[in-house]
A = this chain, B = another copy of it.
Amino acid sequence: MNCLEERIVKDGVVKEGNILKVDSFLNHQMDVQLFDEMAKEYQKRFAGKNINKILTIEASGIGIASVIALRFGVPVVFAKKSKSINLDGEMYTAEVESFTHKNINHVIVSKKFLTEDDHVLIIDDFLANGCALQGLIQIVKQAGATVEGIGIAIEKGFQPGGQIIRNLGYQLESLAIVESMDASTGQVYFREQD
């Protein structure tokens, strides 16, 4: 098990409805020392990739992305979420449907901060249905930039996002892929990774 899987076993809480609460270390309280260990793992997995920018989405992706960016020596751009879109042409926008909140958001990035010269590592905390991630990929494409890879903290392996993204040919690296959870025992089962 890697550092994140170990931490999930120790401090993650499984709730009914396939909910995994990791708010004590990942997405409300944030253990940035853990994020730095995760950054080292991403460095190994994306070794040899020419990455000059990290793209994430507010809010809970920002902390992880920032610590990873520090180790990669590159800046972060975080996409903003908005109900409305600004049509002045200065922004890349993509529509994202949230399964959690049952609404449609727009994901927005200023054109100033993503261009065809960029080689992007996309980072986010969770991958389930992959909607947010597909919005980020759309935005990178609109910019004519290159997605060099996608780094996720926790992938829900029993939801379709991961397979959809891998089928599109992207190098998707999730540090913990949860195959199943049992709310009665609190047990979390991970997919074996090399």
Where the two chains meet, the residues of A that have a C-beta atom closer than 8 Å to any C-beta of B are: 23-25, 28-33, 35-36, 58-59, 62-63, 65-67, 69-70, 73, 75-78, 80, 109-110, 112-113
Name the 9 nearest CB pairs between A and B, nearest first.
A58-B59, A62-B62, A63-B66, A29-B113, A59-B59, A66-B66, A30-B76, A32-B69, A32-B70
- Shortest CB-to-CB span from A120 to chain B, Å, is 12
Looking at chain A's contact residues, the main secondary structure is mixed
Q: Give Cα A33 to B67, complex, Å.
A: 10
Q: Give Cα A78 to B29, complex, Å.
A: 7
Q: In the complex where A36-B70, A58-B58 touch, is A28 in contact with B63 (Cβ < 8 A)?
A: no
Q: Give Cα A70 to B31, complex, Å.
A: 9
A58 surroundings in chain B (CB, below 8 A): 58-59, 62
Q: In the complex where A23-B110, A63-B62, A110-B23 touch, is A28 in contact with B73 (Cβ < 8 A)?
A: no
A76 surroundings in chain B (CB, below 8 A): 29-30, 32, 63
Q: A78, B110: Cβ atoms under 8 Å?
A: no
A59 surroundings in chain B (CB, below 8 A): 58-59, 62, 78, 80
Chain B minimum-CB-distance residue to A29? B113
- Shortest CB-to-CB span from A11 to chain B, Å, is 11
Q: Which of A32, A33, A75 has the most CB of B within 10 A?
A: A32
Q: Give Cα A67 to B25, complex, Å.
A: 15
Q: A78, B66: Cβ atoms under 8 Å?
A: no
- Shortest CB-to-CB span from A165 to chain B, Å, is 24
- Shortest CB-to-CB span from A73 to chain B, Å, is 7
